[in-house]
Structure formats: structure tokens, C-alpha cells
Amino acid sequence: MSKQKNGASRSILDPSRPGFHILMAIVVTAVIFILTILFLRLFTRHGHEIEMPSYMGQSAQELTQHGRSEGFVFVVNDELYENGATPGTVLKQNPLPGEKVKRGRKVYLTVAASEPPTIKMLELRDLSLRQAQIMIESQGLVLDKIIEKPSPYENVVLEVLYKGHAIAQGTPIKQGEKITLVVGKDIGDLPDSDSTSTGLSVN
């Protein structure tokens, strides 16, 4: 009985047996597939995700120079001025802190600029007060004061002042600077109809 089993086994592995080469090709393909999957799992550290740390407030220069010790590649892709922030420190990061990531991936940083960017003043005259306020905010400027001046054009911007002087459209100005608007006010609505203007501070 054992002789018959041994003979059957030898007949399966006999190269001259029909289908032997097909069987060997299947076995080799399966081994290669398994080895490839194991290699990929090892290479990509599949399933080994970590929680992204927070780098907010840290020096972007130190991170880009020594970031590989953290297991990531740091890339500065934007600068943003923020009042009170230390220049060169991280304001935003992508991926966000707490996200699940794999080591070795790129982390994109937005860092604090050393000074606010210079923009060109928009034309605010003849706009309504509300429109002018929206445009001032969108430019990153600060509305410091509103001066009411007798005029038939109620709540229309008559003048735009910067440091007490009129500022024209297209004049370079840094973000964060304070602007004063002179707006029209019906003479009858003013507290003192004999006065030419009244100043209102904007909180």
C-alpha cells in the first residue's frame, strides 16, 4: 500500500508527467505574490499609523533642517503675517494635529512673516459706509475712526484718511494700518448743526 502512495507522489513530481510545468508555474507565482505582499507591508509599514503631533509655534527653520529625526519631511509653502506672532514660527500645518498619518510623509507649514505685506489702497470714496467697511476688512486694514460730515449724501464715504491725510487709490500701504473714513451725515441728524464734523471711534 505504501509503495503505491510513494509511486503516486513521484508521478505528481515527475517532470515528464503532463501538467507538471503548469503546476510549478502556479506554485512559483503564488510564492512571488506572497513575498511581494510581505515586502510591501514591510516597506510602507502598512497598518503602522501614528498621530500627527502639533508643531504650532515651533521654529520652521529647525523643523526643515532636523525634521527627519521626527520622521517627517517638512515643507514651508506659505507665509502669513499675524500680529503678535514670532516671525518664522509655524501658524498652520497640514496634516492637522491629531490626524492619523504614516512616518515619512510631507508636512506642509504656513509660517509667520516678519512684517505685514504691502497692498495698494482701493477706491472707497462714493461707496456706502457698509461697503467701505467690508472692503477695508478684506484688505487687512483697520477702520480706526469714522468722521461724520454734513452732506446730502447720507452714510456715503466722502474722504479716506491715513495718519490724518487723504490717501488716494493705488497708494502702497501695509496691512494692519489704521484708516479713518469721512462719511456724509444729514445736517439735521448731527448733534450740533453748526459743527462741520464729528469723530466716532470704531471698536
Residue 44 lies in a domain: no
Number of domains in the chain: 2
Of 15-29, 60-74, 159-173, which one has max mean pLDDT?
A: 159-173
| Chain centroid, CA 137 distance in Å | 20
How much is the CA Rg of the chain, to the nearest whole Å? Answer: 36
Confidence (pLDDT) at 168: 93
Residues 138 and 81 in one domain: no
Is the model's pLDDT at 17 over the cut of 70? no
Mean pLDDT of 164-193: 85
Residues 106 and 128 in one domain: no
Cα angle, residue 82 at apex, residues 76 and 86 outer, rounded to 5°: 70
Element (H, E) at 64: helix 60-66
Residues 96 and 82 in one domain: yes
Q: 139, 160 in Cβ contact below 8 A?
A: no
Q: What percent of the chain has pLDDT over 70?
A: 76
Residue 174 lies in a domain: yes
Confidence (pLDDT) at 193: 46
Residues 192 and 132 in one domain: yes
Q: What is the pLDDT of residues 122-136, one digit of tens each?
A: 999 999 999 999 999
Q: How confident is the model at residue 195 (pLDDT cuts 50, 70, 90)?
A: very low
Last residue of a domain, one of 112, 136, 155: 112
Mean pLDDT of 155-168: 94
Is the model's pLDDT at 203 over the cut of 70? no
Model pTM greater than 0.95? no
Residues 85 and 142 in one domain: no
**DSSP string covering 126-138, please?**
TSBHHHHHHHHHH
The helix, strand and coil proportions of the chain, stated in percent and rounded to the nearest 5, come to 30, 30, 40
CATH code of the domain containing 172: 3.30.10.20
Residue 37 lies in a domain: no
Domain span at residue 72 reads 50-112
Residue 96 lies in a domain: yes
Mean pLDDT of 172-194: 80
Residues 176 and 144 in one domain: yes
Residues 108 and 122 in one domain: no
Confidence (pLDDT) at 32: 87
